[in-house]
Amino acid sequence: MKWLEHLQTINEHKRQVQKLCFQVGLYRQGLMHDLSKYTPVEFLVGARYYQGNRSPNAAEREKKGYSSAWLHHKGRNKHHMEYWIDYSPNKGETMVGMKMPVRYVVEMFCDRVAASKTYRGRAYTQRDPYEYYLRSKDHYIIHPETQALLEKLLKMLADHGEKKTLAYIRFVVLKNRDCYPQ
C-alpha cells in the first residue's frame, strides 16, 4: 500500500503549500501547485520509491543514477530553481540560473516550508527549512538575486516565525514585484 501512503504524502504537502500560498495571496499558485505529481510518470515512480521520510526522487536517483520523476517535475513547475537554468548569454559561462519572478520565489519558499512540515511532522521547527537550505546550497545553480531573496525569507522564518514572514511576503514582497534584496 505504498501508493496510498505516497498519495497521502502528496496530498498533505499540497494542502500545506496551498495554505501558505493562500495566506500570502497566491491563490492560483496554491491551487495549481505540484499537479504534475498526480501524473503517471511522477506518481508511479513516487509510489515505487516511497519511504515516508524523504522524497522518493532521492531513492530513485540512488538506484538508477537519475530520477525520471524529478526530471519531469522540475521541467513543469516554475517554483523550482532548476526550471530556470539555461545557457548563459555571457561568453565563457555555461549553465546559469536565471532570475526568477518573485511570485515563483515565494511559491518556492512555501514549497520548502511545506516539505519540511510534511517530512518532519511533529518534529518540525521554524528553523528546519533554513537549515535544510544551508546544507544543500553549495550545489545550487541559482541566480544571485533569487538566492538572496530565498535566503532572506528562510532566515526571517527561522528568526521571526511564520506569521511575521508571511505578512512580510504578502504586504512587502508581493506588493513590490521587484523586491529583490540589494
The answer to whether residue 180 scores a pLDDT higher than 90 is no
Looking at the domain assignment, is residue 61 inside a domain? no
pLDDT for 178 equals 57
pLDDT for 179 equals 62
Looking at the domain assignment, is residue 166 inside a domain? yes
The answer to whether residue 173 scores a pLDDT higher than 50 is yes
The answer to whether residue 69 scores a pLDDT higher than 70 is yes
pLDDT tens column, 115-131: 999 999 999 999 999 99
33-44 average pLDDT score? 97
pLDDT for 30 equals 97
pTM, full prediction? 0.93
The answer to whether residues 81 and 140 touch, using CB atoms and an 8 Å cutoff, is yes
Confidence of residue 52 (pLDDT cuts 50, 70, 90): confident
Spatial CA neighbour of 30 closest among 14, 51, 44: 14
Looking at the domain assignment, is residue 111 inside a domain? yes
pLDDT for 54 equals 85
The β-bridge relationship of strands 95-97 and 85-87 is antiparallel
39-69 burial, b at 16+ Cβ within 10 Å, e below that, comes to eeebbebbbebbeeeebbbebbbeeeeebeb
Least confident window among 126-130, 161-165, 178-182? 178-182
pLDDT for 182 equals 46
Looking at the domain assignment, is residue 70 inside a domain? no
pLDDT for 1 equals 85
Looking at the domain assignment, is residue 168 inside a domain? yes
Our count of domains for the chain comes to 1
Coil vs helix vs strand at 126: coil
Range of the domain at 84: 2-34+77-173
- Round to the nearest angstrom and report the end-to-end CA distance of the chain: 49
The dihedral through the CA atoms of 140, 114, 173, 160 has a sign that is negative
Looking at the domain assignment, is residue 45 inside a domain? no
